[in-house]
Amino acid sequence: MFLAPSKIIARWAFNIQDWNPSEEQYKKALLFIQPEERDRIKRFKFFSDSKLALIGRLLMRFLFYRLYNIPWNEIKFGRTKENKPILIKPESKPNDPIIYFNISHHGDWVVLVAAENCKIGIDVMKVEYPKKQTVQEFFETLRDQFSDFEWNVITTPLQEIDQLHQFYRYWCLKESYVKAVGIGLALDLRTIEFHLPENEERKNLSENVKTLKTDTELYINNELEHQWKFEELYLDSLHCIAVSYSTLNDVDAVKEGGFEKIDIEEILNSSKIPSPNFNDYSELSELNQTFTKPILEQKSI
C-alpha cells in the first residue's frame, strides 16, 4: 500500500507571559472553544493554569484552520479512551493524510507539534527547584520511573542545578514518547530507557536554544527501537522540550526545523468570529462567576 511522505507540519510555541488579556478578551477566547473544554478549564484553581490550558485548545483549532483552511465552527475535537485529543469533525476522506498532533504546557510556555503520516509527541518542562522539598527528596519520589542507567546519568553532575537539568531532559523524553504512542499510564516508564550520545551524557543543552536533532537512542525492554527519532531544545534558559516521532514509512525523511512563536491576535483574528456582545450569550453569567475571581487574584499578586 502506498503511503504519502511523512512530514512535521508545525512546531509552535506560545509564551503566556506575553498575553495579559482584559476580562472581555479572555471571555471572548473562551467562547471560541467547545463547551466541554470550557468546563474543564473552569476546574483550574489558578488563572495561570487556566490560561495555559486555554491557549492549548486554541492552538489546536488554529492548526486546522491555518494549515487546512477548515472554518473554526466546523472543527470539533473528541478524546481517545486514553484521553488524548483527536479531531472528529470534519471527517477525513480516504486519500487524506493521517494527521497527528500533540500539545504540552508548563511554566511559561504552551507548545504544539503536528505531523502528517508520522506519530508524534511533545513535552515541555520548566527546570526549577522543587517547592517545599529538597532536590534529593524530590528525586526520591520519582526514582522508580527511571532505569539504573538513566539515574546514573541524572545524578552524576556535582551541582544540583545540573542534576535538575538532566532530570527534566530525561523526563521530557519519556513523556514525549508516551504521548506519541498514546497509551498513557498503561506504560511502565522503567521499561523505556534513553541513551544520550556519549558526549551529551554529562551536560545539559541549556545554552543551545535552537532545535537539535539528537542521536539519542530508545531501548524498550532492552531492545533498541530504530524507528524512533528525537529532537530536543530549550525555548529559553529554563524551559526544555523533547519531541519524539516515528514515521509510517521513511523516518529519515522528516526535516528539522525551529519552533515558530505564535501570537494571540493571529489566533483570535483567524477565528473570523466577531467580537461578541456578551448580552447575547446565555453563558455570560456563568463565565463571570467562574473567571472574574481568578483574574482579579492574578492582578493582585
Along the chain (301 residues), what's the average pLDDT of each consecutive run of 10 residues? 76 95 90 92 90 96 95 91 88 90 96 94 96 95 95 93 94 95 77 83 49 80 92 92 82 74 90 48 43 32 25
CA distances from 186 to 170, 178, 182 (A): 19, 9, 10
Burial class (CB in 10 A: 0-12, 13-18, 19+), 193: buried
| pLDDT the model gives residue 121 | 96
Q: Can you give the pTM of this predicted structure?
A: 0.86
| pLDDT the model gives residue 213 | 63
Q: What phi and psi values does residue 83 have, to the nearest 5 degrees?
A: 75, 25
Specify the DSSP class assigned to residue 56: H
| pLDDT the model gives residue 3 | 59
| pLDDT the model gives residue 272 | 63
- Name the amino acid, one letter, at 40: R
CA 58 – CA 48 distance, rounded (Å): 15
CA 148 – CA 173 distance, rounded (Å): 16
Burial class (CB in 10 A: 0-12, 13-18, 19+), 194: buried
In what order do the strands lie in the sheet containing 192-195?
A: 192-195, 217-220, 223-224
